[in-house]
Structure 1
Amino acid sequence: MKCNEKFKIKTLPYMIESVQLLLQSKPQIQLLLSNTTLTLSRQNVFSLLSLMYFELTIQQSVQNFKFPQYFNFSTYYMQGSQLEKLKCLINYFNQCVEYPEYFNLPDIVYKRVQLIDIPNWINSQIPLSGFKFEKQKNEDHLNCGIVDFSDRFFGGKVAAGRGCAQEEVLLLINPEAIIATLFTSQLGDKESLIIQGILQFNEYRGYEDSFTCIPIKYINKGQTLIAIDALYFATKPQGYQFTQEAILRELNKSYSGFKGSQQQVISTGKWGCGIYGGDKQLKTLIQWISFSQACPDGNIIFNGLDDKAYHDLGKRLELCKKRYQTVGNIVKEILNSSQKNILDKLC
């Protein structure tokens, strides 16, 4: 396999050396608990990813904490999109060795945010924020927060023998984020994971089985990754997502990420839709409302590629903004009239 030959020539000796140095130094890398921050050097990140590559990591076993099932890259030698996953990692390792100045770049910050002060959603007088709809992908925008449609176990199936959906793609083009799977347990209903300082090492085409890696020289887009896991409605009773319980959960979840990231601009899209079964109209409203509460003077960008029906929601949101003006006003209306195609009722 050509990619493996190229990989061994350029990178393997340095990876082995970095792993040896890491094991000798025995760094204290703590579990990322609620409302804690972990700061790692680029060298440590490189070494940890090397450990995962060599299958020298083991699944965490800590009482009262649940960790991802997948924690190394042994499945990447399978055919199809898994080989493309491997190429993404190979390019990361090669880039780090080819451009040694990489290791002098600022550290990467991993932050777990647990929402303590829950907003009084119904009575909030915070004004509704700005927004826009774009025909792009979440990760196309510069200097902003990028929403990762996360699994409750951060990383989803990025290290598994299957799966290459939105979260997996984001982590493959930004491999420095992958190591958070080693020290991040299952996220709670009011928790999010924020990763600051990541670089992009790959472009791509396709999705799931058609995913194809396009290696590039690493670039700094000034992006902060915001991992928030939506509810999986496919296993819930029909109509559950329109209940007050579900809506408030999603408001609190997304608010923890938006508030915790401290970003004035957020790039997102159809969070929790697709196989999760989320209603596009409702999920768009929820993200807009929670972002408004977190950053009323900012802008949230909804990316829909070629989905015309999704872009048409922008006109409806403009009407909602004029009619309801504040977070509390629109939340009251949503909770009183939750239903499919909710914008038909609101606007």
Structure 2
Amino acid sequence: MQKYFKKIFFQQSKMANNVFQCRLKGYNQQDYNNYIHQTIDQDETLLDIFQDQEGQLGFNNYLKHEIFNNPDQLRSDLDAIYEQWETNAKIQLKRVEIFRLIMLMYLGLLERDFSQGGFYLIDMVYIKSNKSHLCEQKLKCIKHYIKTFYLNQETIKDEYLVFSKNSITKEDFNKKFEECNNQVIDFEFSELKNEIHYNSTVVDFADENIGGLVLDTWNCAQEEIIMLLYPEAITCMIFIPKMKETEAVLIENVKKYSNYTGYEKSFISFPSEDIKENYNVLAIDAKPFYSEDQFTKENIYRELLKCYAGFELSLKNKPNCVISTGKWGCGIFRGNIYLKTLIQFVSYAIATNQVKQSNSKIIINCANDQHLFKFGTTLKQWLQQYGTQLKLINLKESILFLQNGINDGMLQNYNTELIDQIFKILTKDIPQFQTLSQNSKSNDKVDEPQYDIEQEEGQNEKFNKNIESQQQDQEQNQKGYIITNQQKVALAAFAFGIFLARVYIYQS
């Protein structure tokens, strides 16, 4: 019976994969080669790739006789991509192979039975036929990529891009979370955008449907912009299905073909002057918080796990590249900028410890957010003042503080009282957490901690006195500041309960 159910599950999984897989449109025609040539000749959007007739003719011949010269090879290559990804969760493709996939999408030569609204579009017909400003700018990015690759093909065509997925089990993450406390991290806050930094892994604030809505006619948020600047990454929508909560995807060695200003409907693209540099794109999808409380243990745990899956993958595969991130999930998903920053720091510290990367750095790009940039620069000042580094054990405790009665509204507009409490937690000397009992209750739940009651009461008393002293100092430094009753309750709960929860019990 068990074998029967396994067989059924495998068959259903295979059917789902077959639905997602693309096939060559018109492949069964008697003269498929001629069908491709006619498609190229009839595409009016390709007529102005080059201004001169000779250049345009050379480009068209390149497509017909080098890119699409072997239809049978096209089909076998496509099948091989799906097989490798399904088997290894990793695939290596030459830049010219990526170009071929992009041109299949551009010319509308791919089709599949799978549909997900505006997600996972594999045909660029919508942005080619729509005359809106946004579609014109999206198409401009794609056409500039096409032209730039063609002009530089001899030097870049055989370079490799690598697509890989990292899958983390909750049990494995729990273990890594518990066994690591003293890891320090190197961090930086900048006023730039994620994609500005050379030699970096650029964090794509992704949708779980990787690639987002890059090829639809209405949307151009952070993920869509990333895909347009690094259009080689768009090919992920051909073969990488929806990410699970425990998964992240890394695309290595993409080139940046365009720059931009604006956002959404104000997006404007212009050519990148230098394509010598390579970048990496790390796709991690945040959870939307339209009505749900993002400060709960369960929701924080979900975001920690997701970030860890991505950062571990990046540090393993591209250890010499800084991670360039920012306000992950803080736009339309309504994530709190301080909570999300601390979550990313915690996951990054654990990943750094596991990969043993002492020279790595994470950059939080604040762009136009002066509150977040002030938070970062002030944190640096506090750490320098106390002669310490940012440690994982302190980051964990700051997360616990935010779980104890704090909400998004209380942290709006740089609430000085609460922000300073976070700074004090991040800079104080904290003893090692007590270890958990080795006896397991279940395979997927962390054990209850074993406490020394007298020791814990002494720690509570000492901590309460420390908090009272900190509050007195704060009153002297912040004269005239009024704290709300809700904030008082949160701080009291933090002072009373912090050492009763010294071990974080993050479980599914």
Aligned residue for 2:272, secondary structure, equals strand
Is residue 256 from structure 1 mapped to residue 301 from structure 2 by the alignment?
A: no
How far apart, CA to CA, are the structure 1 residues paired with 2:93 and 2:70?
13
How far apart, CA to CA, are the structure 1 residues paired with 2:102 and 2:256?
15
How far apart, CA to CA, are the structure 2 residues paired with 1:230 and 1:180?
19
What TM-score comes out, normalization by structure 1 length?
0.89
Summarize the alignment of residues 135-150 of structure 1 with structure 2, pairs less than 5 Å apart: 135-150=191-206
Q: Which has the higher contact order (CA 8 A, sep 6+)?
A: 1
Summarize the alignment of residues 1-347 of structure 1 with structure 2, pairs less than 5 Å apart: 4-7=46-49, 9=56, 11-18=59-66, 20-21=68-69, 23-25=71-73, 26-27=76-77, 28-30=80-82, 32-33=85-86, 36-59=89-112, 61=114, 68-77=119-128, 78=130, 79-116=132-169, 117-120=172-175, 121-217=177-273, 219-234=275-290, 236-237=291-292, 240-262=293-315, 263-264=319-320, 265-295=322-352, 297=358, 298-318=360-380, 319=382, 326-338=391-403, 339-340=406-407, 341=411, 343-347=419-423
> What is the identity, as a one-letter code, of the residue corresponding to 1:327?
L
How far apart, CA to CA, are the structure 2 residues paired with 1:256 and 1:60?
30
Deviations 1:287-335 (A, max 9, x none): 1111111125321111112322111111454447968953244324423
Q: Any stretches of 5+ residues in structure 1 without a counterpart?
A: none
> What is the identity, as a one-letter code, of the residue corresponding to 1:76?
I
> What is the identity, as a one-letter code, of the residue corresponding to 1:279?
N
How far apart, CA to CA, are the structure 1 residues paired with 2:244 and 2:267?
30
Q: Any stretches of 5+ residues in structure 2 without a counterpart?
A: 1-43, 51-55, 412-417, 424-508
Aligned residue for 1:164, secondary structure, equals coil
> What is the identity, as a one-letter code, of the residue corresponding to 1:271?
W
How far apart, CA to CA, are the structure 2 residues paired with 1:155 and 1:37?
17
Give the stretch that moved more between structures: 148-157 or 288-297: 288-297
Do the aligned residues in 2 keep the contact of 1:122 with 1:327 (CA within 8 Å)?
A: no
Do the aligned residues in 2 keep the contact of 1:194 with 1:224 (CA within 8 Å)?
A: yes
The RMSD of aligned alpha carbons is 2.8
> What is the identity, as a one-letter code, of the residue corresponding to 1:14?
Y
Deviations 1:14-61 (A, max 9, x none): 334455336321211116348621111112111110110111222464
How far apart, CA to CA, are the structure 2 residues paired with 1:233 and 1:211?
25
Distance change (3 Å), C-alpha of 1:103 and 1:144: closer
Do the aligned residues in 2 keep the contact of 1:134 with 1:305 (CA within 8 Å)?
A: yes
Distance change (3 Å), C-alpha of 1:102 and 1:153: farther
Distance change (3 Å), C-alpha of 1:295 and 1:232: same
| 1:12 Cα deviation after fit | 3.9
How far apart, CA to CA, are the structure 1 residues paired with 2:303 and 2:136?
35
Give the stretch that moved more between structures: 73-82 or 316-325: 316-325
Structure 1 or 2, whichever has the larger Rg, is 2
How far apart, CA to CA, are the structure 2 residues paired with 1:35 and 1:66?
28
Match of 2:21 in 1: none
How far apart, CA to CA, are the structure 1 residues paired with 2:219 and 2:208?
15
> What is the identity, as a one-letter code, of the residue corresponding to 1:330?
L
Do the aligned residues in 2 keep the contact of 1:22 with 1:47 (CA within 8 Å)?
A: no
Do the aligned residues in 1 keep the contact of 2:256 with 2:279 (CA within 8 Å)?
A: no
